[in-house]
Structure 1
Amino acid sequence: MSTLETNLDQKPARRLALFVTVFFLAMPFLILRVMDDIHSKLTRNITDEEVPPSKRLAYLVDLIFSNAIAKPIALLLATMLLIAFGGNALYSVTDDTFEDALWRTWSYVADSGNHADSVGLGSRIVSVCISLGGLLIFALMLGLISDAISEKVDSLRKGKSDVIESNHTLILGWSDKLNSLLNQLAIANQSLGGGVIVILSERDKEEMEADIGKMEFDFLGTYVICRSGSPLIMADLKKVSVSKARAIIVLAEPGNADQSDARALRVVLSLTAVKEGLKGHVVVELSDIDNEPLVKLVGGDLVETVVAHDVIGRLMIQCARQPGLAQIWEDILGFDNAEFYLKRWPQLVGMTFEDVLVSFPDAIPCGVKVAANAGKIALNPDDDYIICEDDEILVIAEDDDSYFPSSLPKVKKAALPKIVIPRKYPEKMLFCGWRRDIDDMIVVLEASLAQGSELWMFSGVPEHEREKKLIDGGLDPKRLENVHLVHREGNPVIRRHLESLPLETFDSILILADEELEDSVIHADSRSLATLLLIRDIQSKRLPYRDLRAVQVRQAGSLQTSWIREMQQASNQSIIISEILDSRTKHLVSVSKITDCVLSNELVSMALAMVAEDKQINRVLEELFAEEGNEIYIRSGELYLYDQEVLSFFELMMRARKRQEILIGYQAACADRPSINPAKKHAARKWSTSDVFIVLAYNE
Structure 2
Amino acid sequence: MQYFKKIRYYIDKSLARSFIYVVYLLALIVCFVVACITAMDIYFGDGELRNFSQIFLDYFFAAIRGEGENINSTFINILINTLIMLTGLFVSSIVIGILVNSIAESIDNVRSGKSFIDEKNHQLILGWSNGISLVFREFLLANSNNKDSNIVFLDEINPVEANEKIMTMFPNKEDYQKIIPKQGRISDRKYLEMVNVDQARSILINHDDDMESIKAIAAIVNNPERKKDKYNIVSKMNIKENYELAKIIGGEETKVLFFGDMLARVGAQSCLQSGLANVYLDLVNFDGDEIYFHKEDSLVGKTYEEAILSYETSSIIGIEREGDVLINPKREKIKTDDSLIAISMDDDTVIKDGVENVLVDQKKIVKTAPSKNKVDTIYIFGYCEGDLSKLEVICSHLINYLDDGSKIFLVNDNKDSANIESKINPAKDIQISFIEGNCRSREFLEQMDIESGDKLLILSSFNGSNDINKCDAQTLFTLINLRDIEKKENKNFVLTTELINSHNAEIFASNSDDDYLYSEDIVQSMLVQIAENPFLSIFFDNLASPEGSEIYFKSITEYVDVSEPIDFYTICQSASFKGETAIGYQTSEREDLKTLNAGVNINPLKSKKRLYNPDDKLIVFADD
Structure 2 CA distance, aligned partners of 1:378 and 1:127?
Answer: 90
| Structure 1 counterpart of 2:430, from 476, 482, 488 | 482
In structure 1, C-alpha distance between the alignment counterparts of 2:284 and 2:134, rounded to whole Å: 12
Structure (1/2) with the larger helix percentage: 1
Partner of 2:537: 618
Give the aligned partner of residue 455 of structure 2: 508
Counterpart for residue 529 of structure 1 = 476
Verify the 8 A CA contact 2:121 2:199 in the aligned structure 1: yes
1:256-655 superposed matches below 5 A: 260-272=209-221, 273=223, 274-277=225-228, 281-370=232-321, 374-383=322-331, 385-405=332-352, 406=354, 407-413=356-362, 416-419=366-369, 421-435=371-385, 436=387, 437-461=390-414, 463=415, 465-466=416-417, 476=423, 482-490=430-438, 492-503=439-450, 507-515=454-462, 518-541=465-488, 543-544=489-490, 573-593=492-512, 595-655=514-574
Work out whether residues 376 and 454 of structure 2, in 8 Å CA contact, stay in contact via their aligned partners in 1.
no
Q: How does 1:78-227 map to 2 (within 5 A)?
A: 78-96=29-47, 98=52, 99=54, 103=58, 107=62, 111=66, 119-120=74-75, 136-193=90-147, 195-216=149-170, 218=172, 223-227=178-182
Separation in structure 2 between the aligned mates of residue 109 and residue 322 of structure 1, nearest angstrom: 84
Checking the alignment, whether the CA contact within 8 Å between 1:576 and 1:595 is kept in structure 2 is yes
Deviation at 1:116, TM superposition (A): 11
- % identity of equivalent residues: 24
- Please list, as runs of the form range in 1=range in 2, the aligned pairs for 1:46-61 lying within 5 A after superposition: none
Equivalents in 2 of 1:110, 1:378: separation in Å? 79
Structure 1 residues 24-59: Cα deviation after superposition (integer angstroms, max 9, x where no partner) = xxxxx79x48xxxxxxxxxxxxxxxxxxxx65x766
Residue 486 to residue 279, structure 1, CA distance change in 2 (3 Å): closer
CA deviations 1:500-534 (Å, max 9, x no partner) are 44455681222222137843222222222232212
* Deviation at residue 144 of structure 1 after TM alignment: 2.5
1:660-699 aligned at under 5 Å gives the runs 660-670=579-589, 672=592, 673-679=599-605, 681-699=606-624
Q: Which amino acid aligns with 2:461?
A: D
Structure 2: which amino acid aligns with 1:694? I
SS in 2 for 1:647: coil
Q: Deviations over 1:363-420 (max 9, x none)?
A: 12111122xxx3312111131x222211111111122221322544233446634346
2:595 alignment partner in structure 1 = none
The 3 A distance-change label for structure 1 pair 413 and 100 is same
Contact 2:292/2:344 (<8 A) preserved: yes
Structure 1 residue aligned with 2:196: 241
Q: 1:217 to 1:591 in 2, by over 3 A?
A: farther
Q: Is the 8 A contact 1:158 1:204 kept in 2?
A: yes
**Distance in structure 2 (CA, Å) of the matches to 1:80 and 1:500:** 95
- Alignment size in residue pairs: 602
Quick one: which of 160, 185, 188 aligns to 1:230?
A: 185
TM-score by length of 2: 0.87
8 Å CA contact retained: 1:358, 1:408: no
DSSP-derived class of the 1:300 partner? helix
Structure 1 residues 85 and 478, CA, compared in 2 at 3 Å: closer, same or farther? same
Unaligned runs of 5+ in 1: 1-28, 34-53, 254-259, 545-569
| Post-superposition offset of 1:228 | 0.5
Tell me, which stretches of 5 or more residues in structure 2 are unaligned?
Answer: 593-598
Specify whether residues 100 and 643 from structure 1 end up closer, same or farther in structure 2 by C-alpha distance, changes over 3 A only: closer
| Superposed displacement of residue 250, structure 1 | 1.0
Which of the residues 73, 84, 87 maps onto 2:24? 73
Question: What secondary structure is seen at the aligned counterpart in 1 of 2:571?
Answer: helix
SS of 2:432's partner is strand
8 Å CA contact 1:243–1:277 kept in 2: the answer is no
Is the contact between residue 87 and residue 102 of structure 1 (CA under 8 Å) also seen in structure 2? Answer: no
Deviation at 1:610, TM superposition (A): 1.3
Alpha-carbon distance, 1:168 to partner: 1.0
Pick closer, same or farther for the CA change 1:268–1:138 going to 2, 3 Å: same
Paired letter, 2:620: V
Give the aligned residue type for 1:358: L
Q: Aligned partners of 1:327 and 1:601: how far apart in 2?
A: 14
Q: Is the 1:431–1:511 Cα contact (8 Å) retained in structure 2? A: yes
Choose 630-639 or 434-443, whichever is displaced more: 434-443
Deviation at 1:163, TM superposition (A): 0.8
Aligned to 2:153, the other structure's residue is in SS state strand
Highest CA radius of gyration, 1 or 2? 1
**RMSD over aligned Cα, in angstroms?**
3.2
Contact kept, 8 Å, 2:271 with 2:495, in 1: the verdict is yes
Comparing 498-507 with 176-185, greater Cα deviation is found at 498-507
Cα distance change on mapping 1:194 and 1:483 into 2, 3 Å: farther
Q: Greater RCO between the two (CA within 8 Å, min separation 6)?
A: 2
Q: State the partner residue of 1:547.
A: none
2:116 and 2:459 mapped to 1: Cα distance?
A: 43
Q: CA deviation at 1:297?
A: 3.1
